[in-house]
Structures are given as C-alpha cells and as structure tokens.
Homo-oligomer: A and B are copies of this chain.
C-alpha cells in the first residue's frame, strides 16, 4: 500500500522534473541512444532484457528475506551465521546457480572480559551493555549476541589518567601538542567520527597512550542529532558502535595470512607477529557510560570545535579522572563461509562479472548488511528467471555473499587472495553493495566505469520522485553543491563517480588485484544511529531507513543493470576519457596541496619566528604556539603530467571506437578489462605493499577515507618529502602503462 502511494507521488513530480531537465541544458540519455558497448540492435535487446529484469523485482521478496535474515544476531562463527549462509545458498541453488560454500579458517577475537571503571575521583563501573527495548522485539532476540567491543584490540589491563583527544586524528594531536598535553602513559578517550575508528587506537598508540576508549557523542550520534530510538532513528543512550580496529590500511583480511588465502593448510603468522592487531587495548562505549568519565575530568576546557553534546563541560587534562580497563578476548580460529553462486556465461564463460555483498552482521544487521544483501538476492533471482527463459548472461556472473566483512573484509579478502591468479585472468569487474539507505544514488569506483554508471543512473527512476536517479542527484548538487560542482552540471555530461577508499568488500578486488570495481548504494535522507548496535533491526530499518523497501528495489535495478551490461556487452562498456579527466583533477589537487602546504608552512613559520603567538595568546593559559615545521620544497610533477597527457590522448582515440558500436573480440575485451590492472604495480604503496593500486587507496591515517594517487598525496600530507619523487615516478609509470594498453585498443 505504501509503495502504491509513493508511485502516485512520483507521477505528480515527474511532470515538473521534465521541465527541469530542459532548463539544465543537459539531455538525458534517450531511450533510442545506443548503450555503451552495444550497437543499436543489441541496445534495444538489452533494454528489453532490463525491462524484463525489472518486472521480476518486488518489495515482497526483499521484505521476506530482510525479516528472516535479520531476526537474530549472525556474526561470523555463530550458529545463526551458518544458518544465514545455508539460507542464502539454498536460494541461489533454487534459482539455478552452481553454488559453493567456500570456507576459510580465520582468527576471530570475541570478548571474554570487558571491564571499565572510573577509579578516581569517584568510582563508577561502566555498564557496557545495550538495553533491550519493548518497542522493538528484535532487541530481545539476542542469542549469540556479541556485546560491544572492538575486534582486534589486543588483550590488556591498564590503568591511567584520561586525556580527551576529540576524534583522535593527526590534527587533533597537533592541537593537544599546543596545550602541552601528551597521551603518553595515559588512556585516550576519543569520540567516534572524524576518521575511521581504527585510526584512533593506532594514532594513540603511536603517541604513547596505554589504552583507548571510543564513545559515540550525542552531538554527533544521539539526542543532539535527532530523536533517539525508539522515538526516532538516532542512537539510544545505551547504544554502542561495535567495529573492527584491525589496521586495514596496512592490509585487510585475516590478520595471520596477509597476501594468501586462509585455507586450512595456509602458513600463518604467529598471532604475536600480526601487524594489524592494535598495540593497545581499545573499547567502545555508549554515551551513557561515557558521561561519568568525561564529567570527572578536569584541567583545560576543550577548544570550541571539540565540544560534544553531553550536559557537561568537556576538559582535556589534567584532572582527577583515572580509569582502569581490562580486556581479554577469545582468540578463536573460526570458519568464515562465503557463498559463491555462479551462472555460467553462454559466450565468454571465462570472463567473470562478480557481484557481492557481505552476509555477516555485528548483530541483527538489518541495515548492515542485510538491506544490501536482499537487493543482491533479488537481482540474482531475477537473473535466474531470465536465464531460465533462455536469456542467460553471455559472460559468467558470480554472486558472492561474503562472511566476516565486519571484522576486516575477511571473507572477501581471503577468497580474493586465494584465487588471485584466476581472478587476475578472468575478473571483468567487481560490483559491491553493502547496507542500503534512502535518497540519492551513490556510485563510487573505477572511473573506467563512469560512463556506463551514468547511463544506468539515467535509466533507473527514483522511487520517491519518479525522475531518474541521475536527475535527482543532479538536483541535489544544484541545491547543495559548491560552485565548482554546480558548474560541472552544465559543462560535463556525466556525473563524477567518487573514488573508493575502504570500508567494504571491494577493497581486495580493486586495491589489491586491480579489478575494476563499483560500490553502489542509496543514501542522504535517513540519518540515524543504529550502525553496528543492537538497534540495527528490521523494525528500525523499515520504520526509519527505507520504509516499503522501495530503495532496495531501486538498488537492485541499478546494480542489476551494471551486472547485466557487463555480462552481455559485445564490447565491454569501459571508457577512459572519464578516467583521464578524473585523474587530471587529482593531479591538480596534489599540485595545489603542495603549493598550499608550502605557503602555509612558510607563513606559519614566519609567525612563529616573529613571536606574535606569544603576544596573541592568553598568557594565563597553557595553549601555546604551533611547532615550527620543516620548509616544504617544490616538487616535480612533470612525470605525472606527461603520463596523464599520454593517457588523455589514448583515451580520446579509443572513444571513437567505443562510440562506434563495433563489437570487440574476446581478446580485445580481455584487454579492456585488464587496463585497471595496469594501474597497479608489484611494489605497492610505501610501507603497505598489499595496496598495489597507485590511483585509489584508503588513507593510512583516515582509514576508510580515500586518498587518490595515494603514494604522492600521503607523502606530501605526512611531510615525508623524500618519498615524493619516487611516488610520482611510480604513479607516472602506471599511467604510462595504462595509456599504452589503451593505445593497443585503437590499433
């Protein structure tokens, strides 16, 4: 009933949006235009196929599966987790897929002891549990519930003074330095946000802290942000964001088996040598538990930007607050189960289009990951129906439901490492989804797929407004974007897709093997605080995130089209002018970064030397001048720019062929899909050779946040100037190699 009402609304608004399209001067893809990689006849056939595909999708299926798969906690290694695997595998088999459950043996720490108490100036023992709520029956289905913890914290018992470190980012520590405050020998208390959680204990440990507490501040994620659960979607006072703190920017996956699959007989590191386990114990807590700790602190009042939403004055240090924290984990080896379901391609069985979403959740996981998984399942079912009707894919389609994503992309990474050679040979692309939400389509990934992604965004309609998801996204940029972004709406036919950092299972495909990847989801209209808490339930999701699951269907439509086009295109829909254009942006950004950091450092050093800080700062307070930084040299970006020129020329040349509608040979298609591999090398990034891609990586000090041309960018950001020339060379080389391979296509 709700779906019907929304459709009516969509009809009303779509008339209005037609005029909008015309006014913007950007023409939508016309139904008669050829699809990238298809000639006219094949385009028509593909469109008909996609229409049939759509007709097999329905919100009922999504609702049934979402309810079933999120009814209980189902983390890796749990009994319910295994039932979820069997359920999903059974569906794939029903739908005609050759389905394997591929197992890995992986290290999985679960909590044995979690103790946190304030020992001075008063005593308070943190509860460390989440409340079951009458209003949400799922929160009482807590078989096998993992209590709040951060996976891959080391064991430890520590006692020390608290220091408030805000988000615990490098910038935050620079400010603490100005107060003369160090975390050495102390326990850092940090709020969630500002960076990926794993960065907080990593940096705190680098700075000498003996432990880290992470809490969700109500200003960011609680009553300050909006009504709290169950009245609204935001974080309940007892809610705790679980999550892995494994050092994923070094390598994700099983901590004992970097670079290789965690098969039963794999050679393993001793746990004590695993570099991605934290150096200090770390525990996440609720704001209900955090308040007494923070209220007990004293000393300097925090800077304005560091204030949170608790009804207290936040202090940095020194103060009377001391805490004792004791953490012990069961360091078990458990089985991670990936469901791998294959529909063999009729023409190119050795070219694989891989489509994945994880199935494990921290708890019930209705949003994360089941909302994405049920969209994937709906796609798979529909593809199965098409195949049963004789319209199977031309290339092999591999559906994957990954295990142990939450602990560090473990299921996917082990499978990728285990099958590296085969994937290097056969993988056309990897299409990822994860928890889905409501609002605007977000597509991130390899820019070689940007044009296809844009065609698809123009072909799928937004369920709330009836216009294409592309048009809705354009409207959002028009209303909320900056001048540059607004300008591009007029000057650039395609919307940019965002580069990928980390945070879901695309990472091993893209950043380790160089397999062109996309990550797709909707979002922007359903903020809330259920993420990784007991409250990520069916009830929360269907009340506040995607009521009626209409965006679940829209996600199936978008991701399903990506799969179908990649599976069926006579010429793979890869394109390189978008790649070159985006990379040119990144090169400009890095050049600007160098110039900015140089002029800012120069000006700041001059101020420090002149003594103005001593005169401008309050002499009664401890907040002092910043520390002088080494001068920043000029860098030679010419190799990067020369290589980019080559790529641009080659890309322009190939565009003519791409637009001709001419089909490609199997060999040409193989060349097309392996050009992304050319953007990697065997050396990888400084200090983290697992990351071989020289265009996209998660930031070493941001965690999930992307760094483009990461070797160069991070060398400048981290002021390791001696690395810049080498990293420019490495990035220039991969671009030159990619350009050469694009040129091959035009021969």
Can you list 7 A-B contacts (CB < 8 A)? A17-B615, A19-B610, A465-B619, A472-B615, A478-B612, A479-B607, A479-B612
A161: min CB distance to chain B, Å? 19
B residues less than 8 Å from A313 (CB atoms)? 223-224, 226-228, 232, 234
Please name 17 further chain A to chain B contacts, defined as beta carbons within 8 Å, in addition to the given A23-B609, A479-B613, sorted by A numbering: A17-B615, A20-B610, A23-B610, A218-B311, A224-B307, A226-B301, A226-B313, A234-B313, A307-B309, A464-B619, A465-B614, A467-B615, A472-B616, A475-B616, A479-B616, A479-B617, A480-B616
A310 an interface residue at 8 Å Cβ cutoff? yes
Residues of B within 8 A of A439 (CB): 618
Using known A-B contacts A19-B610, A301-B226, A610-B23, determine if residue A471 contacts B615 with beta carbons closer than 8 Å.
Answer: yes
User: Taking the complex as formed, is A635 at the interface, i.e. its CB lies under 8 A from any CB of chain B?
Assistant: no
Q: Mark A234-267, 1 if CB is under 8 A from B, else 0.
A: 1000000000000000000000000000000000
Residues of B within 8 A of A227 (CB): 301, 313
State whether the Cβ of A620 lies closer than 8 Å to any Cβ in chain B: yes
> Closest CB-CB distance, A595 to chain B, in whole Å?
15
The answer to whether A40 has its CB under 8 Å from any CB of chain B is no
Closest to A619 in B: B464
Interface residues on chain A, number (Cβ under 8 Å):
52
Least CB separation from A477: chain B residue: B616
With A and B bound together, what is the CA distance between A307 and B17 in angstroms?
33
Which single member of B310, B472, B611, B620 contacts A20 (CB below 8 Å)?
A: B611
Query: Which residue of chain B lies nearest to A307 when distances are taken between CB atoms in the complex?
Result: B224
- A13 contacts chain B at the CB level, 8 A cutoff: yes
B-contacting residues, A260-306, CB 8 Å: 301
Say yes or no: B223 contacts A615, CB within 8 Å.
Answer: no
CB distance from A474 to the nearest CB of B (A): 8
User: Which residues of B sit under 8 angstroms from A475, Cβ to Cβ?
Assistant: 611-616
User: What residue in chain B is nearest A525 (Cβ atoms)?
Assistant: B618
Q: Is A9 an interface residue (CB 8 A)?
A: yes
Partner of A476, one of B19, B474, B479, B616: B616
A662 an interface residue at 8 Å Cβ cutoff?
no
Residues of B within 8 A of A465 (CB): 614-615, 619
Q: How far is the CB of A18 from chain B (nearest CB, A)?
A: 9
In the assembled complex, A593 has its CB within 8 A of some CB on chain B: no
A228 contacts which chain B residues (CB < 8 A)? 313
Contacts of A612 in B (CB 8 A): 20, 474-475, 478-479
A16 at the interface (CB under 8 A from B): yes
Task: Kindly state the separation between the CA atoms of A188 and B290 in the bound complex, as whole angstroms.
Answer: 34
Which of A380-428 touch B at CB < 8 Å?
A: none
Q: Which 9 A-B pairs have the closest CB atoms?
A: A475-B615, A479-B616, A475-B612, A311-B311, A475-B616, A20-B611, A476-B616, A478-B612, A525-B618
Residue of B nearest to A224 (CB): B307
CB <8 Å contact, A311 and B16? no
Query: For the complex, what is the distance from the CA of A419 to the CA of B610, rounded to whole Å?
Result: 51
From residue A93, how far is it (CB to closest CB) to chain B in Å?
A: 38
Q: Does the CB pair A19–B525 fall under 8 Å?
A: no
Complex contacts, A234 vs chain B, CB 8 Å: 313
- Give Cα A615–Cα B23 distance, bound, in whole angstroms: 14
In chain A, residues 168-227, which have Cβ atoms closer than 8 Å to a Cβ of chain B? 218-219, 223-224, 226-227
Nearest B residue to A621 via CB reads B525
Contact of A9 among B219, B472, B609, B619 (CB under 8 A): B619
* Least Cβ–Cβ distance between A604 and chain B, in angstroms: 10
With A480-B616, A618-B525: A611-B311 Cβ-Cβ less than 8 Å:
no
CB of A493 within 8 A of chain B?
no
**Smallest CB–CB gap between A601 and chain B, Å?**
16
A232 to B9 CA separation, bound complex (whole angstroms): 55
Pick the residue among B16, B311, B312, B606 that contacts A614 (CB under 8 A): B16
